[in-house]
Amino acid sequence: MSKSPKGTTLTEHLPQLVQAAKWVTVGKALPSIIHDLNNALNTMIGFADLWRTDTTLSDNLRADLSEIVQAGLHARELLTLLREAVKAPVNDLPLGLGKVMLPQVCDQALGLLATPVRRCRIQVVRDYHPQTPSVPSSRGTLLLLLLCLLHNACEALADNGGTLTLRTYGAQNMAVLEVEDNGQGLPPRLQRRLFEPFTTTKPTGTGLGLFLADHLVRQMQGQLALDSPKGEGTKAIVRLPAEDLSQRP
């Protein structure tokens, strides 16, 4: 059996090699997509920024254009984070630690997805425990994680509508986030491969959402699990290390 320079077998390194190969595949596919999206965003931001200076427009319309500009700038920041995420292996992505409250990030993500939620007739339930601990991470990273999970849940409810529940609480020094839908659940044949890239149940899906979500969660030294009994919907459960209150001054 082949040995590495340090005497370990290649079999022992197989999980790391497989993960690296996955990131090479994703890294080749996404840059051109991100580039095209950035071009589209720059056009949108530019025109909206120009039009909102037109004093002949109503105040309400100019306010709407300002919201478009801010949303576009925020989307551009998320694309930058996504580009860095697919370039970096686990434990190499700088996250810019800060104290982040999960309920606030949940509400922000829901605001960004308000249109598809409304269009798909999805009822949103917010179940935030008042004692949910904060998470030492970057707000942008958590927001990107939420958008990945919420997008999957919205797709599961796109045909018939349904209920989307966001739940936060603390358990055993961990901050827990749950994103649950009451759709049809996931086919058993796919459940073992859900965190692999390009695994999807949708004809137009990319199959990258859960792969990226899992990467971001592991980057934050957390765990991501899925519970999806057939015909009973899907629950994504994220466990992240909570802020160490003993370190507060």
Residue range 189-217, pLDDT digits in tens: 666 666 665 555 565 455 567 878 888 89
3-state SS, residue 194: coil
Percent of the chain having pLDDT more than 90? 22
Question: What is the spatial distance between Cα 184 and Cα 40, in angstroms, rounded to a whole number?
Answer: 34
pLDDT, residue 198, reads: 53
Residue 240 · residue 175 · CB < 8 Å: yes
| pLDDT band for position 94 (cuts 50, 70, 90) | very low
| pLDDT band for position 11 (cuts 50, 70, 90) | low
pLDDT, residue 133, reads: 94
| pLDDT band for position 30 (cuts 50, 70, 90) | low
Residue 153 has pLDDT above 90, yes or no: no
pLDDT, residue 190, reads: 67
DSSP structure string for 227-241: E--TTS-EEEEEEEE
